[in-house]
Amino acid sequence: MSVVVKDLVKHYGDTKALNGLCFEAEKSTITGFLGPNGAGKTTTMKIISGYLTADSGVVTINGISLSEDPIYGRKKIGYLPENNPLYPSLYVPEYLKSMGKPYNIPQLDKRVQLLMERVGLSDHQHKKIGALSKGLKQRVGLARTLLHDPEVLILDEPTTGLDPNQLVEIRSLIAELGKEKTIIFSTHIMQEIQAICQKAVIISQGKVAANVNVKEIDIQNSLKQFEFEFANPISVESFKDLPEIVEIEFVTEYKVRIGTPNERAAKMALFNVAAHLKNPLMNINTLQTNMEEIFHKLTQ
Amino acid sequence: MISIFEREFKHFFDSTIGMMVVGVFLLITSLFLFVFPDSSILLSPYVSLDIFFDLAPSLFLFLIPAITMRSIAEERQDGTLEVLLTQPIRSFELIVGKLLASWTLVLLALIPTVAFYITLYHLGDPKGNIDSGAILGSYLGLVLLALSYCSIGVFASTIADNQIVAYIFGTLLAFLFFYGFYYFSLLPVVVGQIDELIQMFGMDYHYRSISRGVIDFRDVCYFFSMVAFFVFAAILMVERKKQ
């Protein structure tokens, strides 16, 4: 089930939040939605979910326009807003059952139990939502979006504020869901896009700045970049003919920047140079990823 | 709509606001009916529940906006409105579900007051010497008045982003529609000319009419028109805030 967003325009007073935004999210694909704060990510997601109406433009799901049949869209979409609003006074299964009723789900109790198992909430069914940790609340939110088995998931920064363990768990859950559903997923974390998304839509000032295939970027620009800082001045000759180093740039008389497809071999070569010259290595910095570079170029 | 109604109604008791409203209503009406000497029916030579039916609209004026103030304003404040409006629920169902939950709570507060009637029935001399028809009419008036107040309160909650503002606005609107038109009709410029017409716009006029025990279709129609108007206005506000 594909989601097509065409020429979306949205104003908040005099401010133009979206300025003719167009993109397409394909079936069984996780589309990463990237952009600086205020670029229009959340507004776009709210319009796709049906919470906001656009001033002009169309959102279609499987060719059916949401403005013409909003209830169809709401049945097909599961939407997790940015701050994951919940009812803290309700118990987890009670909340899920209550939120599932408008969808007329057959055997709702069974579905709720199944989802709680799937997102890892079975041990917390006797707790009120207010008593859960942020990671568990995020799972409750995700379970809620999955209640009616939607074909499209709109997740607005679902990993924000999670600790590293929770981050990994939620990411892997989203990646698993992405095998069968169309997911539009916004985040600020580039590594997250590279780890779980197949496509990335970068937006800036309410427009699509780039629509890229994440895997292709990795293949085309598969070089990893590092900066090595030595204790004493270095000479160009010492770094000639090193294996696995494709790019080399001398930043200062102490610092050298290298690009390599093989991180381990390149580091070993640099350590050998340092040992051979008796010039201790003081610092090694991993430079930003390719996605980050693209993001900066397109959004500044 | 049922899920909205259930969650809203349950929330009244989870947050103790439900018990509080029912308790305060019963406590104050009981105090006036049985304890305070100026109004106590035990000290009155006549068997009548007029004190209760005079007092209830004023009490509702303060208590009903306290029930309804959170209905939409809190959902918007907490962000849960965003989730509700992206479910296959129409704005109409959302508003009517909230309205019915609030109204049911008020009806729950009214049920124990039947004990007042039973007490008076037994106190009458001879036993049962009480105008049951007028009391039944007054109850119907009170039930319709409560529904109108609830619709005003839910509408106020759709306008305000803050519950306190929703409470103040709801109380003010309910006051205007209950007492406001009556007081306007006392202005010297309208007395003797259109004073009765102005009074007819107020809920007080129709409440008193029903309380006489004669159920006039026009009075019932007035209350339902009020409810329909405020429900429609509330739906418009919810839809407008999506823009």
pLDDT tens digits, residue range B90-146? Answer: 888 999 999 999 999 999 888 998 888 888 778 777 777 777 778 888 888 899 999
* 8 Å CB contact of B86 and A77: yes
Tell which wins on pLDDT, B70 or B126: B70
Amino acid type, A216: E
Give the pLDDT score at A216: 66
Residues B25-52 have pLDDT tens digits of 889 888 888 888 777 777 777 767 788 8
Give the pLDDT score at A23: 84
Q: How confident is the model at residue A295 (pLDDT cuts 50, 70, 90)?
A: low
Our CA-based measurement puts residue B241 at a distance from the nearest CA of chain A, in whole angstroms, of 8
Chain A residue closest in CA terms to B89:
A102
Q: Which of A50, A53, A86 sits opposite B243 (nearest CB)?
A: A53
CA atoms of B97 and B1, how far apart (whole Å):
5
Q: How confident is the model at residue A68 (pLDDT cuts 50, 70, 90)?
A: confident
- Whether the per-residue pLDDT at B218 is higher than 80: the answer is yes
CA atoms of B101 and B67, how far apart (whole Å):
10
Q: What is the mean pLDDT of residues A64-71?
A: 81
User: Which secondary structure element, helix H or strand E, spans residue B40, and what is its range?
Assistant: none
Most confident of A150-154, B40-44, B194-198: A150-154
Give the pLDDT score at B190: 73
Helix axes B91-110, B2-14, angle to 10 degrees: 40
* 8 Å CB contact of B80 and A87: yes
Q: What is the mean pLDDT of residues A3-9?
A: 85
Whether B16 has its CB under 8 Å from any CB of chain A: the answer is: no
Whether B6 has its CB under 8 Å from any CB of chain A: the answer is: yes
CA atoms of A176 and A214, how far apart (whole Å):
17
B214 to B129, B136, B210: CA distances (angstroms): 19, 10, 6
* 8 Å CB contact of B88 and A71: yes
Q: What is the mean pLDDT of residues A38-64?
A: 85
CA atoms of B243 and B239, how far apart (whole Å):
7
Cβ A186 vs Cβ A33: under 8 Å: yes
Tell which wins on pLDDT, A187 or B172: B172
CA atoms of B90 and B81, how far apart (whole Å):
12
Give the pLDDT score at A219: 46
pTM, two decimal places: 0.76
Q: What is the mean pLDDT of residues B68-80?
A: 87
Our CA-based measurement puts residue B90 at a distance from the nearest CA of chain A, in whole angstroms, of 8
Average pLDDT, chain B: 85
* 8 Å CB contact of B243 and A49: no
Whether B17 has its CB under 8 Å from any CB of chain A: the answer is: no
Region of A76 (left: φ > 0; alpha: ψ -120 to 50; beta: rest) is alpha
Give the pLDDT score at A300: 60
Q: What is the mean pLDDT of residues B52-78?
A: 88
* 8 Å CB contact of A85 and B79: yes
Our CA-based measurement puts residue B230 at a distance from the nearest CA of chain A, in whole angstroms, of 22
Our CA-based measurement puts residue A94 at a distance from the nearest CA of chain B, in whole angstroms, of 10
For the ranges A21-35, A72-86, A159-173, B13-27, the lowest mean pLDDT is seen at: A159-173
Give the pLDDT score at B158: 92
* 8 Å CB contact of A102 and B88: yes
Give the pLDDT score at B96: 93
- Whether the per-residue pLDDT at A297 is higher than 70: the answer is no
Nearest partner of A148 among A97, A197, A75, judged by Cα: A75
> What one-character-per-residue DSSP string does chain A give?
--EEEEEEEEEETTEEEEEEEEEEE-TT-EEEEE--TTSSHHHHHHHHHTSS--SEEEEEETTEETTT-HHHHHHHEEEE-TT----TTSBHHHHHHHHHGGGT-TTHHHHHHHHHHHTT-GGGTTSBGGGS-HHHHHHHHHHHHHTT--SEEEEESTTTT--HHHHHHHHHHHHHHTTTSEEEEE-S-HHHHHHH-SEEEEEETTEEEEEEEHHHHHHHT--EEEEEEESS---GGGGTT-TT--EEEE-SSSEEEEEES-HHHHHHHHHHHHHHHT--EEEEEEPPPHHHHHHHHHH-
Tell which wins on pLDDT, A221 or A54: A54
Give the pLDDT score at A217: 62
Measured in whole angstroms, the distance separating CA B134 from the mean position of its chain's CA atoms is 19
Our CA-based measurement puts residue B237 at a distance from the nearest CA of chain A, in whole angstroms, of 13
Residue A8 tokens read as 């979306």
Give the pLDDT score at A290: 59
* 8 Å CB contact of B79 and A83: yes
